[in-house]
Amino acid sequence: MSDPKAEAARRRTFAIISHPDAGKTTLTEKFLLYGGALNKEAGSVKAKGSRRSATSDWMELEQQRGISITSTVLQFPYRDCVVNLLDTPGHRDFSEDTYRVLAAADAAVMVLDAAKGIEPQTLKLFEVCRERNLPLLTFINKWDRPGLDALELIDSIETQIGVTPTPMTWPVGISGDFRGVIDRTSGDFVRFTRTARGATEAPEEVVDAARAEAEEGEAWTTAEGEVELLSEVGADHDQETFLGGITSPTFFGSALTNFGVRLLLDTLVDIVPSPRPREGTNGTIREIDAPFSGYVFKVQANMDPSHRDRIAFFRVMSGKFERGMNVTHQPTGKPFNTKYAHTVSGQDRTTIDEAFPGDIVGLVNAADIRIGDTVFVGDDVEFQRIPPFAPEHFSVVRTTDAGRFKQFRKGISQLDEEGVVQVLRSIDSGDQAPVLAAVGPMQFEVAVHRLENEFGAPVELAPTSYRIARRTNKESAPELRSMQGVDVLFRSDGTALALFESPYWLARIEGEQPELMLERLVAEGGAG
Ligand code: G4P
């Protein structure tokens, strides 16, 4: 079968977002187990150490810091569907990357640790999801261990993220004394059975309500009472509000012991929307069965240090992609051959011969391709670009070895193109000492590490006192530049950013000179 419409209808493309250590990796691996993509008897497949050993130098940084920056894509069949699972970096400093990945997803799963709930550092990642109005599912993980009260967790999701949880399952027994869940759709009790570290699929014993009450006693009646309460306040699944990002179907479980994973995966396949036609910037809709088009959401240096190429990842938006086809690169109008199309998961690359809407394809050595670009066949189309985030940290970068300036310059422009950091230049200092701008300081660590190790350009960073940025224009720039505590710098796309030392200073200038253009940027933090 290779009809794009029929293939698209069976695609489910979603991202997993979570705070580091909430259990994203474990859950992902359990999805693969249920999808049959892993040997069911292989024991725990989670071998972080060995899996990460063959990685490039900048992945060493991930290892040291216990974070993931190089997110990947996994594809596996489940039931009669094809699941595309996009990984996202699990740290708020990389929320801009998460935002870009979400542009390629049709839904997201938020994984929370039952003992921690929503952690302040992660709030931004979830807000980013809200901002895109993406359908959001919630998995409250580690219920096999002591944790917070279920109603309290539900409440904090609602108040902190502004999305209303609609529990699909409800825990019987408090966290740490987990008996199982009530499946709210059927009213049955699904009993929790421990498996040896979840090496095999969890045996699920489904028990009817009468027997559950007899066997579980008070734990059951308490849970039943809470479920009634949820129904009274209308916390029931509604497909329309879910699709609008207003309600979030919520699950309780334990990824480590596999419990609740199948229910989650089944629901994902049932309710996550298949790829829908998207609108181009000229207002026309690119139908799913129109000729091929794709949207580049990520550009990344290769993870293999032995060949330093880079990969542009696009999501198929319409039509059938066939490797080797000639596509047009929309911004330049140039033809581009797709002979080197791959699917990439972790270090593994496999040639991909065809792909359908919702699938992710990596193009190797696509030198001219940038984040936000459209590639297509047939009628011209351009999909909306992802706006860069509001940076909150600004540091001047210089190379400490003048003999390596060429490498320094190359590295800076590469990091800029990949969106690792934003690179800002002033009219006077230009390429010698650009300003690196970031949402979170860990982005600087990655930039410095890569400049030194990948490009051989040792650098020093000098933090500036700027804290907040606004978009401005040519007309306002000279006046702003003449002010104390303000600077105007330019991004490589030509956008002028006015930088301020504090929100108070900015507010004062806005109040005194309302004629100056000072526009807010996307996903601004508390400072704005
Ligand atoms: P992440 O990708 O979100 O960073 O989280 P990851 O899956 O790596 O899980 C973080 C830790 O939490 C791991 O322990 C993992 O085993 C544990 N974990 C995940 N899900 C559950 C769960 O449902 N219940 C319990 N009790 N623990 C869970 P670790 O000690 O850091 O790693 P490891 O030694 O187990 O590999």
State the CB neighbour count (10 A cutoff) for residue 302: 18
Say which residue, 153 or 348, is predicted with more confidence: 153
Quick check: CB of 119 below 6 Å from ligand 1? no
Nearest CA to ligand 1 atom 26: 142
Round to whole Å and give the CA distance between 96 and 255: 27
For residue 46, give the ligand 1 atom closest to its CA.
36
Quick check: CB of 144 below 6 Å from ligand 1? yes
Quick check: CB of 90 below 6 Å from ligand 1? yes
Q: Give CATH superfamily name and number for 393-512.
A: Peptide chain release factor 3, domain III (3.30.70.3280)
Quick check: CB of 21 below 6 Å from ligand 1? yes
Structure tokens at 9: 């209808």
Query: For position 37, what pLDDT does the model report?
Result: 66
Confidence at 246, pLDDT banded by 50, 70, 90? very high
In 3D, which of 108, 161, 173 has the Cα closest to residue 139? 108
Distance 254 CA to ligand 1 centre (A): 10
Quick check: CB of 289 below 6 Å from ligand 1? no
Structure tokens at 195: 């498996």
- Residue 280: DSSP 8-state: B
Quick check: CB of 145 below 6 Å from ligand 1? yes
User: Would you call 38 exposed, middle or buried from its count of C-beta atoms within 10 A (0-12, 13-18, 19+)?
Assistant: middle
Phi and psi at 147, nearest 5°, equal -160, -160
Q: What is the pLDDT of residues 82-127, one digit of tens each?
A: 999 998 876 777 778 888 888 899 999 999 999 999 887 678 777 7
Residue 32: its H or E element: helix 24-34
Structure tokens at 310: 């880079």
Nearest CA to ligand 1 atom 4: 21
- Residue 521: DSSP 8-state: -
Round to whole Å and give the CA distance between 485 and 476: 15
Confidence at 201, pLDDT banded by 50, 70, 90? low
Quick check: CB of 20 below 6 Å from ligand 1? yes
For residue 20, give the ligand 1 atom closest to its CA.
4
In 3D, which of 425, 449, 450 has the Cα closest to residue 436? 425
Round to whole Å and give the CA distance between 96 and 103: 11
Residue 72, helix vs strand vs coil:
coil
Torsion, Cα of 508, 510, 513, 515 (10° steps): 180
Task: Evaluate whether 219 touches 172 at the Cβ level (below 8 Å).
Answer: yes
Distance 256 CA to ligand 1 centre (A): 7
Distance 141 CA to ligand 1 centre (A): 10
The residues, any chain, with a CB within 8 Å of residue 51's CB and separated by 6 or more, are 346
For the segment 325-342, the average pLDDT, to the nearest whole number, is 89
Residue 149, helix vs strand vs coil:
coil
Structure tokens at 281: 């910037």
Residue 299, helix vs strand vs coil:
strand
Quick check: CB of 254 below 6 Å from ligand 1? yes
Query: For position 265, what pLDDT does the model report?
Result: 95
**What DSSP letter does each residue of 123-142 carry, written as one string?**
HHHHHHHHHTT--EEEEEE-
For the segment 208-215, the average pLDDT, to the nearest whole number, is 91
Predicted structure pTM score? 0.86
With a pLDDT cut of 90, the percent of the chain lying above it is: 55
Q: What is the pLDDT of residues 148-187, one digit of tens each?
A: 999 999 999 999 988 999 999 999 988 778 889 999 988 8
Nearest CA to ligand 1 atom 30: 21
Confidence at 343, pLDDT banded by 50, 70, 90? confident
For residue 255, give the ligand 1 atom closest to its CA.
23
In 3D, which of 197, 147, 188 has the Cα closest to residue 169? 188
With a pLDDT cut of 70, the percent of the chain lying above it is: 87
Sign for the CA dihedral angle at 13, 374, 424, 401 comes to positive
For residue 254, give the ligand 1 atom closest to its CA.
23
Instruction: Give the distance, in angstroms, between the CA of residue 184 and the centroid of all CA atoms in the same chain.
Output: 29
Question: Max CA-CA distance within the chain?
Answer: 79
Query: For position 124, what pLDDT does the model report?
Result: 77
Round to whole Å and give the CA distance between 199 and 42: 7
Nearest CA to ligand 1 atom 28: 256
352 half-sphere exposure, CB direction, 13 A CA radius = 25
Greatest mean pLDDT among 205-214, 235-244, 333-342 lies in 235-244
Round to whole Å and give the CA distance between 120 and 156: 12
Round to whole Å and give the CA distance between 195 and 258: 8
Domains 11-271 and 278-376 share a fold: yes
Beta bridge partners of 117: 113
DSSP H stretches of helix in 233-307: 239-243, 261-271
Q: What is the pLDDT of residues 277-311, one digit of tens each?
A: 999 998 999 999 999 999 999 888 765 666 667 78
Task: Evaluate whether 343 touches 73 at the Cβ level (below 8 Å).
Answer: yes
Q: Give CATH superfamily name and number for 11-271.
A: P-loop containing nucleotide triphosphate hydrolases (3.40.50.300)
Task: Report in angstroms the alpha-carbon separations of 297 from 73, 289, 386.
Answer: 12, 21, 8
Distance 105 CA to ligand 1 centre (A): 25
For residue 26, give the ligand 1 atom closest to its CA.
7
Quick check: CB of 18 below 6 Å from ligand 1? yes
DSSP H stretches of helix in 260-372: 261-271
Q: What is the pLDDT of residues 11-69, one digit of tens each?
A: 999 999 888 889 988 898 888 888 876 654 433 334 344 343 333 344 555 555 554 44
Least confident of 168-177, 220-229, 397-406, 459-468: 168-177
Quick check: CB of 59 below 6 Å from ligand 1? no
Q: What is the pLDDT of residues 407-456, one digit of tens each?
A: 999 999 989 988 889 999 987 767 889 999 998 888 899 899 989 988 89
Round to whole Å and give the CA distance between 347 and 367: 20
CATH 3.40.50.300 holds for 278-376:
yes
Round to whole Å and give the CA distance between 103 and 88: 12
Quick check: CB of 62 below 6 Å from ligand 1? no
Structure tokens at 359: 């699938």
Least confident of 68-72, 325-329, 396-400, 473-477: 68-72
Domain extents in the chain: 11-271, 278-376, 393-512
Res. 370: pLDDT tops 60: yes
Res. 488: pLDDT tops 50: yes
Quick check: CB of 141 below 6 Å from ligand 1? yes
Encoded amino acid at 112, one letter: L
Distance 22 CA to ligand 1 centre (A): 7
Distance 260 CA to ligand 1 centre (A): 16
State the CB neighbour count (10 A cutoff) for residue 231: 10
For the segment 505-513, the average pLDDT, to the nearest whole number, is 94
Nearest CA to ligand 1 atom 31: 21
Q: If phi over 0 gives left and psi between -120 and 50 gives alpha, with beta otherwise, what is residue 456?
A: left
**What DSSP letter does each residue of 364-426 carry, written as one string?**
ET-TT--TT-EEESSS---BPPPPPB---EEEEEEES-GGGHHHHHHHHHHHHHHTSSEEEE-
